[in-house]
Amino acid sequence: MVETMIICIVFAVMLSVLLWERHAESRRLSGELAQEKETNLELLRRIPVAEKDPAAAPVPLTVEKIAEAIRTEGYVPEVEKDCVRFKAQGESYIIDTERLPLFFVAKGYSVDPNDWEMDLMKDAAHRMSDALIMVKATFLDNDKTLSFFVAAQDRNYGSFRANLPAYLRILEDGQQKMSEEYDRLVDEKRDAALTAQPVFPAPKTETKILS
């Protein structure tokens, strides 16, 4: 009986010690967590809040923003009522802004009908327009002006600024493709003309009879 009581007392003491140690450990962990939380809050207070990039924001596309994008590319824009003009690598471009967010990027050249075979020029323009989806070519002013243009739609400034170099490359591709088509058509016409010319038979050589 005495031994049983001793065992119970020892067990109770051990249990008390164990509970006290766990309680002390719990209090220590709670203190450490509270201190860590306070440290994190202090660090957060010291971190500067980064400002949003204005170019990445969905800023509506306006004439002024088109001019700003052109300046960003290193060109000098000239803003007019319904368009923006600028020069790049010696080429003159115009952006028609009358129906934003739909717009046209174009460049034109003077054409002297006496210097070109206009029927082949127009055929080459149609072939180029069929081959390349975005760029088209048209003749204006009684065939005295050849215009290349891209029709596009960018709903915000960031999209337009990112796409502007591509629009210029597309216009260059269209111009090069039309030039290649025109040269090919001219060569085909020349070859057809040469083929249609009468071919004179070669003179007969005398046949000598050997004796």
Question: What is the chain's pLDDT, residue by residue, as a tens digit (211 residues)?
Answer: 544 444 444 344 344 444 445 545 555 545 544 554 443 434 333 333 333 455 456 799 999 999 999 999 999 999 998 999 999 999 999 999 999 999 999 999 999 999 999 999 999 999 999 999 899 999 999 999 999 999 999 989 999 999 999 999 999 999 999 999 999 999 998 888 777 665 555 554 444 434 3
What pLDDT score does 57 carry? 63
Give strand pairing partners of 105: 95, 150
| Domains present along the chain, CATH in parentheses | 63-191 (3.30.1460.10)
pLDDT of amino acid 191: 84
In 3D space, the residue among 85, 68, 87 whose CA is nearest the CA of residue 160 turns out to be 68
d(CA 57, CA 69): 14
Q: Which neighbouring-strand residues pair with 147?
A: 108, 138
CA distance 194 to 183: 17
The DSSP output letter for 98 is T
Q: Tokens in use for 139?
A: 């003749």
pLDDT value for 194: 79
pLDDT of residue 102: 95
The whole-angstrom separation of Cα 6 and Cα 23 is 26
CA atoms of 151 and 100, how far apart (whole Å): 11
DSSP notation for 137-181: EEEETTTTEEEEEEEEE-SBHHHHHHHHHHHHHHHHHHHHHHHHH
